[in-house]
Structure 1
């Protein structure tokens, strides 16, 4: 082989080697990045402090924050300046979005082409894109419905939105209904009949941690400090204090084991 060709091949190999080493270094840096989780939601998210329950399943050093306003939809959140700053500059590794209860339900032929559903998809995707700009993985946490006939419609809508977002879908509705049928006396709903009860918050926390970590959750979700019912802050942002007391565990160890054994759908 002529010397010039050998020289060029050698130079190309050196460039490729340097590129691979840089990629490995970046991957190693990302792997070492401290895990920081942000929940974006509404009262379904802060009642009973879902972020706090999730933090209790994570190892020490994992930070969990939340942005959740009462009654807020992701359409409402799309142009919130405080949230935009958190998503793009908060250095979160994982962002979990949760839509207002029922907003993803799609009923009737052509409903996914309606203006309202399109607006929900557009806002959800914009928020997911902002989270990725900030370097985060994106998840879409489902909700629940008491009417079994509505649950398939809810899940279909949630899956559609999650696909548009490029987000990992964390199904709740079908699993929640199954557990509720098996244990009808469980604390599935708050005393108001709409918001999550202790058992529902525990189920959501376990499934979120499984999706984020890739691990099976065996511990019981517990919450330190206030089990919120009212919004924890005026601007929607709050931080989980893992040292807060008193500590309230939301379900028994046997219930937590059953919830942890329930499979998640494949990742997006």
Structure 2
């Protein structure tokens, strides 16, 4: 995955409460706690904040924590050990995991087998595991169907919720030949791409059947 300059080399662990019970005075309103685990495809444009804002527009309160490092796969987070502690805190309703496109066999095995570790831990701690399906770089557009298939298979195998951002992106590209969801490097999302991703995530977290 392309690296960014040092100011993007982030260990970003933040929690933000929006329209929470204390703020709006409605003690009966649930705040959903979401853990994002990923890399630059999640922290570029601060996708969790966009999700929080999009949820608020739909009347849903979200409190998020983001654990993201450049070039990280889900196994890298697991090896570090921080993510296990966060999930085991039982503070989260949803755990959203994401890594690179994972069109090749190695990435597929990570999604399937390392994802199973996340699934088992989430089940023990009353959290719903979710896969944030991403996309390939424009250079590797021909691998898009493998990205979609591998994320879909991993979510199915591990009884997780699929957040099909990459699939929606591909439909948009194929229908319009407009690749404006990509940023200038042809891989990371533009702001518009991240905004679309946030809408898809909110729709599938809270409104899908």
With the length of structure 2 as denominator, give the TM-score of the two structures: 0.74
Give 3-state SS (helix, strand or coil) of 1:86's partner. helix
Aligned pair count?
A: 177
Structure 1 residues 52-102: Cα deviation after superposition (integer angstroms, max 9, x where no partner): 0000012364212211111000111122222111111051011111122x2
- Equivalences for 1:46-85 in 2 at 5 Å? 46-59=43-56, 61-85=61-85
Unaligned 5+ segments in structure 2 are 1-27
Please say if residues 38 and 72 of structure 2, whose CA atoms lie closer than 8 Å, have aligned partners that are also in contact.
yes
- The answer as to 2:27 corresponding to 1:34 is no
How large is the RMSD of aligned CA atoms in angstroms?
2.4
Question: Quick one: distance in 1 between partners of 2:161 and 2:41?
Answer: 19
Question: Quick one: distance in 1 between partners of 2:32 and 2:135?
Answer: 28
- Equivalences for 1:56-205 in 2 at 5 Å? 56-59=53-56, 61-100=61-100, 102-103=101-102, 105-106=103-104, 111=105, 117-145=108-136, 146=138, 147-184=140-177, 187-205=180-198
With the length of structure 1 as denominator, give the TM-score of the two structures: 0.59
Please say if residues 186 and 199 of structure 1, whose CA atoms lie closer than 8 Å, have aligned partners that are also in contact.
no
Question: Quick one: distance in 1 between partners of 2:73 and 2:171?
Answer: 26
Structure 1 residues 120-164: Cα deviation after superposition (integer angstroms, max 9, x where no partner): 422111022222222111111101133553221111111111122
Please say if residues 187 and 198 of structure 1, whose CA atoms lie closer than 8 Å, have aligned partners that are also in contact.
no
Larger Cα-atom Rg:
1
Unaligned 5+ segments in structure 1 are 1-30, 216-266
Give 3-state SS (helix, strand or coil) of 1:78's partner. helix
Which has the higher relative contact order, 1 or 2, with Cα contacts under 8 A spaced 6 or more apart?
1
